[in-house]
Amino acid sequence: MITWNNLDTLASYKELFNLEKVDLKEAMSGENGAERVKKYSIPMAEGLSYNFAAKQVDDKLLEALAKLAEEAQLTEKFEALYNGEVINTGEKRRVLHHLTRGQLGNAVEADGADKRDFYTEQQRKIAAFAEKVHAGEITNAAGEKFTTVVQIGIGGSDLGPRAMYLALENWAKKKGLFKMEAKFISNVDPDDAAAVLASIDVAHSVFILVSKSGTTLETLTNESFVKDALANAGLDPSKHMVAVTSETSPLAKSDDYLAAFFMDDYIGGRYSSTSAVGGAVLSLAFGPEVFAQFLDGAAAADKTAADKDIRKNPAMLDALIGVYERNVLGYPSTAVLPYSQALSRFPAHLQQLDMESNGKSVNRFGEPVEYVTGPLIFGEPGTNGQHSFYQLLHQGTDIVPLQFIGFRKNQMDTDVVIQGSTSQQKLCANVAAQIMAFACGKADDNRNKNFEGGRPSSIIIGDQLTPGALGALLAHFENKVMFQGFLWNVNSFDQEGVQLGKVLAKRVLAHETDGALKVYSDLLDI
């Protein structure tokens, strides 16, 4: 029987405070450090590995974290989730994004349908549509092939798919699998849509409108922007538009769209990259086979997340260490630092995934919690970040845990040798050096040049960023966030915090304001 208890009621959590804290500087120095790097690494899906040697952990802590995982019933709660129990208590819904990439447990029946069949049917429909577009069977009114796809959506309808597209764009070009350029319109700021439209040939562009409800204000506003541009070019918008929406939305059976692909209420926006939300744009950009490889990588990571042994479950271990850092060591934030330019928008996606999921101050029953929950997430690719905010990470007053991501090979398989090493070797040298610099620091009598060290990090290492590796990476973080939500006993699958601003914005636009809100409205000339 599963019980949902607050973190601070668990005996194994309280025991964490009695353990001696690891001296990271000492642990990572000399031969001790070399042995730790070899010892504290576990395999992930798709050839990735999770190395946590530079975290403040030892064998005693790992044993204690395993007890916490068992007492918190993390494996059982994940099993309940993928078997279709109502885990989203705020909205009284199932949580089914894992089903978009595989069947981990029992068949899940909902809305009179087998949900796995529902998701795979949408994938088949998207694949068939994409193949017809690529073959020139679906064209513009002049019979010419579409060359660009533009996704219109905001939040999870933009951040995840955009990050995934950018992650695979150069890989697909190198492999000869690049089919169509993808662009994204998300911000209701008219400059966003105007800039994208100015950069494309609208006559040869197909637009994907993503809105589950069919009522998202920013998305519908941008759709109107696009339709005006198409009409002004003498084009029929209905011959250039595709909808990704729910079966019950007003968009589902509209003649305004070439095709409609469906999602449902059981997949939150930030978890939707492996659904039709990501599937349509990625299949058009790279082909259905590449999207299928991406799904396979995510499915493989999901399987490891179901393992009860934390030494074989990188997502669960990553989550447990993160909760230890947040709740016992008191670190308020986490930086995600991919040493891969292809992952330039991956930290932005993880900001939404993590902060929208676990940025909660009440538990899943609506009762206030008396401990901190989700951390602040930020990040940029290395080495750019080194010349930006690493100063604070190295010598600032706050200790910020770091999550590095690195690959042995670049995606383009091209490089140049400068001063005896390649660019990729320089990149990898930087990430290795940063891990050790953060952990061990450097003593100096000049206090400005003194580095205290003791700043923890982990690294996910892979051979090359491929579709499978990307899928595994995405699922790792989705599952990590899920496990942390279970530990904090919060509902990671609703997002009421985004609603109040929307309600007030509608009041402003309807001129139903008073007090300070009216003054701000007047200042902005609304």
C-beta of residue 324 within 8 angstroms of C-beta of residue 65: yes
Write out 318-355 in H/E/C secondary structure: HHHHHHHHHHHCCCCEEEEEEECHHHCCHHHHHHHHHH
Q: Are 467 and 170 in contact (CB under 8 A)?
A: no
Q: What's residue 136's pLDDT? A: 97
Catalytic residue among 38, 449, 502, 506: 502
pLDDT at 498: 86
410-413 long-range Cβ contacts below 8 angstroms, 24+ apart: 410/464, 411/170, 411/171, 411/174, 411/342, 411/464, 411/465, 412/170, 412/174, 413/174
Task: Say if residues 275 and 267 touch (Cβ distance below 8 Å).
Answer: yes
> Pick the catalytic residue: 46, 325, 356, 380?
356
Q: 356 with 375: CB under 8 angstroms?
A: no
Structure confidence at residue 414 (pLDDT): 87
Residue 361: CA count within 13 A, CB half-sphere = 1
Hey, what's the torsion of the CAs at 217, 219, 220, 221, to 10 degrees?
Answer: 80
The order of strands in the sheet holding 148-152 is: 181-185, 148-152, 205-210, 241-246, 259-263
Find, among 281, 351, 300, 255, the residue nearest to 473 by Cα: 300
Residue 37, amino acid: V
Is residue 240 among the annotated active site residues? no
Cα-Cα-Cα-Cα torsion 423, 426, 428, 431, nearest 10 degrees, comes to -130
Q: Is the peptide bond between 383 and the residue preceding it cis, with omega within 30 degrees of 0?
A: yes
Nearest Cα to Cα of residue 404 among 473, 353, 335, 350: 335
Cβ atoms of 400 and 389 within 8 Å: the answer is no
227 flagged as catalytic:
no
By DSSP bridging, strand 333-339 and strand 376-378 are parallel
pLDDT in tens, 6-41: 999 999 999 999 999 999 999 999 999 999 999 999
Catalytic residue among 173, 387, 426, 449: 387
| pLDDT at residue 214 in the model | 84
Nearest to 497 by CA among 155, 263, 209, 245: 155
Please give the Cα distance from 523 to 513 (Å, whole number).
Answer: 13
Angle between helices 288-305 and 467-488 (to 10 degrees): 40
Q: What are the structure tokens assigned to 433, written together?
A: 């050096």
Query: 50 φ, ψ to 5°?
Result: -110, 115
Active site residue 511: no
Continuous segment of H or E residues that includes residue 422: strand 421-422
What six digits make up the tokens of 403?
């999550």
Place of tokens 């009216």: 518
Give the residues of the chain that fall short of pLDDT 70: none
pLDDT at position 253, please? Answer: 85
